[in-house]
Amino acid sequence: MAEDINRLKVVLALKKRTNKWLATELNVNPTTVSKWCTNTTQPDLYTLSRIAKLLEIDIKMLLNSNDEL
């Protein structure tokens, strides 16, 4: 089974933001953000960096690791 690579869904919930909000901010289809949140696909590094800036967090918070938030 594939490992979840990003924690976007968790971080969006912590920041009280929605998939739709992120899609609008990035000018991407909401389905794309949904796929990122379910780890079906992954954003590229440039997009991941943009997401981190929009959410005002360190990019490391978006990556799945053994570290706690």
Type of residue at 69: L
Please tell me what DSSP assigns to residue 27: T
- Counting residues of the chain whose pLDDT is more than 70, the rounded percentage is 88
Cβ 49 vs Cβ 59: under 8 Å: yes
pLDDT digits (tens, 9 = 90+) for 35-45: 999 999 999 99
pTM for the predicted model, two decimal places: 0.86
pLDDT band at 1 (very low <50, low <70, confident <90, very high): very low
Query: Which domains are assigned to the chain?
Result: 8-62 (1.10.260.40)
pLDDT above 60: residue 23: yes
Segment 41-64 shows an average pLDDT of 95
| DSSP assignment string, 40-59 | SS---HHHHHHHHHHHTS-G
Cβ 62 vs Cβ 11: under 8 Å: yes
Nearest partner of 48 among 1, 6, 13, judged by Cα? 6
CA 59 to chain centre: 10
